[in-house]
Amino acid sequence: VKDFLNNYRYKQFGNKYFLTTDHGSFLVLNSKEFNNLKQNSLDDKLKTKLFNAEILLDNNNISEAVRLTKNRNHFLFNGTSLHIVVVTLRCNMNCIYCHASSKYGEDSKFDMSLDIAKKTVDFIFQSPSEILTIEFQGGEPLLNWDVVKFIINYANQKNSIMKKKLNISIVTNFSLMDEEKMNFLIDNSIGVCTSLDGPKELHDYNRKFLNGSNYESVIYWIKIFNSEYNDKGLKSKVNSLVTLTKKSLKFYKEIIDEYIALGIETIHLRFLNNLGNASKIWEEISYSADEYLDFWKKSIIYINELKSKGIKIDERIYTLFYNKILLEFDPGYLDIRSPCGAIIGQLAYNYDGNIFTCDEARMLNDDLFLIGNVNDRYENLVTCDKSCAIINSSINDQFICDTCVYKPYCGVCPVCNYAEQGNIIGKISQTLRCKVFKEQFDFVVKEKFIN
């Protein structure tokens, strides 16, 4: 065929233009080249650039565009790989933003039973995905330790026949950790993730522990685990998540320094979600998109300064957006892609066996995203009308995104839309996510691709 122009989107940065295609290839043109493209006045040099980015197509590069489209959407063909298991809704802490709306106290009615645990594992192994990740969440999972151990043992036993690539991890506040549990987790190669919100004063303000400070336990166990890994010649390290409240924003340096001091090399500076208990005191603890972006940009500048001195530290969103643009495979971050990870990438199993589309979905005080339970068959659950409607609502093919240069790398969230605007189909340009992501992408593009 004669050459023809592929669909492309663009954004102007000064006298440069950043162009992207549906399959995620990109190109930077100067004003003269861009005007020539618009006027269809293409010299050989410009033609070559456009061919290399598959913006101009012909018989020689069309199969490359098809290959890249397939790679970028590889996650559509795998089956659900991430399985969040809420072994208890109970927690012994009372964090001000608790997204999981956990229950304080002894009431075991919020614990997963062994029977439900067994059915949950059986359900998870119905997924055709070659990679299965089971992640324990809560509440505080260590409050139902017997069920955690049962699931690990039973999943390993099943996998000795199924031979999948099985990863298991636990998210814990460390307050109930002891040596016996640590040894069991390390011996079974269970990944460990905790929450650390920054220096002691900030951490203990955000993450309230009624028996004193939680900060001490977190620091203690991160160090003990990491030194055990080291002694055993293992490469593992404890991962940590930071949650940002209004109070956190002025402490960007202190938060980053805290992570560096513990040898943690990735920090994920996510904005707060209006879910669970956070929504009850939203005005008090939240911040505007602009306040968050100011914090995030200062943090990246500070991280870059540290990196130039040889200190190892990366910010997750920055690295993710950079890789999304640069690499031909989507890096597989379930919350920012189209369609998002709900159902096709992850499922969340509540303590009572109910199955939600994703972890955040079970945090709404609503069963809109409840799609079944562990007695169902996997293939029926993921293909039922409700599941298909939810997956469909997370595809960013609607009008606003369709004009945005970042469409091939971005994604919309039906759970956030519902929490923010009361509808799973959001008015995208009015969402916090869109405003934040657009500026974060702009920042990465200016730093990394426009020079």
Residues that bind ligand SF4 (CB under 6 A): 334-335, 340-342, 358, 360-361, 394, 396, 400-401, 404, 406-407, 410, 412-416, 428, 434, 437-438
Q: Are 22 and 69 in contact (CB under 8 A)?
A: yes
Q: Which is nearer to ligand SF4, 156 or 323 (CB)?
A: 323
- State the minimum distance, in angstroms, from the CB of residue 234 to ligand SF4: 30
Q: Which is nearer to ligand SF4, 209 or 292 (CB)?
A: 292
- State the minimum distance, in angstroms, from the CB of residue 261 to ligand SF4: 31
- Interacting residues of 413 by C-beta distance below 8 A, sequence separation 6+: 335, 340, 360, 394, 433
φ and ψ of 88, to 5 deg: -160, 150
The dihedral formed by the CA atoms of 441, 444, 448 and 449, expressed in degrees to the nearest 10? 20
Q: Which is nearer to ligand SF4, 202 or 412 (CB)?
A: 412
Q: Are 177 and 140 in contact (CB under 8 A)?
A: no
SS (H, E, C) 21-82: ECCCCEEEEEHHHHHHHHCCCCCHHHHHHHHHCCCEECCCCHHHHHHHHHHHCHHHHCCCCE
Residue type, 128: P
Alpha-carbon distance of 347 to 84, in angstroms, equals 6
- State the minimum distance, in angstroms, from the CB of residue 292 to ligand SF4: 15
Q: Which is nearer to ligand SF4, 222 or 401 (CB)?
A: 401
Alpha-carbon distance of 407 to 352, in angstroms, equals 38
- State the minimum distance, in angstroms, from the CB of residue 390 to ligand SF4: 7
Alpha-carbon distance of 136 to 9, in angstroms, equals 41
Q: Which is nearer to ligand SF4, 209 or 406 (CB)?
A: 406
DSSP label of 93: B
Q: Which is nearer to ligand SF4, 20 or 217 (CB)?
A: 20
Alpha-carbon distance of 426 to 88, in angstroms, equals 32
Q: Which is nearer to ligand SF4, 28 or 289 (CB)?
A: 289
- State the minimum distance, in angstroms, from the CB of residue 433 to ligand SF4: 6
- State the minimum distance, in angstroms, from the CB of residue 40 to ligand SF4: 27
Beta strand ranges found along 205-256 (DSSP E): 239-241
- State the minimum distance, in angstroms, from the CB of residue 232 to ligand SF4: 35
